């Protein structure tokens, strides 16, 4: 089997659902965000918009909004000190927006792991930002009104060791020659 640091990193990354309370460094955050900007996008359109939130008041608002969509009172971002939101064009404007945003999120999660941070993909941003409260937040972030929330990542230092990988399902991929 091929051995390579990038492949090793991809295989070892796990979703982190418990974070230390201390904030990540600006240098770490910039590295993760920059990795997101290098994700491939359809026709190099670079449609996604990335917003990193470290303000505790805004994080509390995001937690409340996401929990409401989820129908719970727990923290869907697992008390991460940083939340990174990704927005994209609605399908009627750019059909690749959601896929492009998903690649941005994936790049950021892999970059986070590569530099010792934990992350977890969080859903429900579309529902959150389709509300009047969400639209107002988008406006405060400088995000165009015609975009939609696609997803986010919780980001921070893992509070406990990462678990081993679960077994991969049989026949996960096929090779046709």
Q: Does some domain include residue 7?
A: no
Burial 80-89 (b: 16+ CB within 10 A, else e): bbbbbbbbbb
- Starting at the edge strand found earlier in the chain, the sheet holding 82-89 runs 49-53, 82-89, 147-156, 118-122
Q: Does some domain include residue 169?
A: no
Extract the runs of DSSP E, i.e. beta strands, from 18-146: 49-53, 82-89, 118-122
Indicate the pTM of the whole model. 0.96
Which parts of the chain sit beneath pLDDT 70?
1-2
CATH of the domain at 86: 3.40.109.10
Provide the number of structural domains found in the chain: 1
Q: Does some domain include residue 98?
A: yes
Q: Does some domain include residue 53?
A: yes
Pairing mode, strands 118-122 and 147-156: antiparallel
Burial of 20 (0-12, 13-18, 19+ CB in 10 A): middle
Report the candidate in 101, 113, 120 with the shortest Cα–Cα distance to residue 39.
Answer: 101
At residue 1, the pLDDT reads 59
At residue 118, the pLDDT reads 98
Residues 6+ apart with CB under 8 A from 56: none
Average pLDDT, the chain: 97
CA 92 centroid distance within chain: 23
Instruction: For residue 69, give its domain range.
Output: 20-156
Say whether 10 sits in a helix, a strand or coil: helix
Q: Does some domain include residue 168?
A: no
Q: Does some domain include residue 5?
A: no
Q: Does some domain include residue 4?
A: no
**97-114 and 5-12 are packed helices; what angle lies between their axes, rounded to 10 degrees?**
100
At residue 3, the pLDDT reads 80
């Amino acid at each position: 089997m091929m051995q390579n640091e990038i492949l090793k990193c991809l295989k070892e990354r796990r979703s982190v659902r418990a974070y230390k309370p201390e904030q990540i460094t600006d240098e770490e955050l910039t590295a993760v965000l920059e990795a997101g900007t290098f994700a491939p996008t359809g026709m190099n359109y670079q449609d996604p918009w990335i917003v990193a939130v470290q303000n505790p008041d805004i994080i509390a608002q995001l937690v409340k909004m996401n929990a409401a969509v989820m129908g719970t009172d727990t923290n869907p971002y697992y008390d991460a000190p940083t939340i990174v939101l990704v927005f994209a064009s609605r399908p009627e404007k750019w059909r690749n927006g959601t896929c492009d945003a998903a690649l941005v999120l994936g790049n950021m999660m892999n970059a986070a792991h590569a530099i010792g941070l934990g992350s977890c993909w969080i859903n429900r941003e579309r529902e959150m930002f389709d509300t009047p409260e969400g639209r107002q937040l988008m406006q405060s972030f400088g995000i165009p009104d015609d975009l939609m929330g696609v997803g986010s990542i919780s980001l921070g230092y893992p509070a406990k060791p990462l678990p081993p990988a679960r077994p991969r399902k049989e026949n996960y991929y096929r090779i046709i020659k």
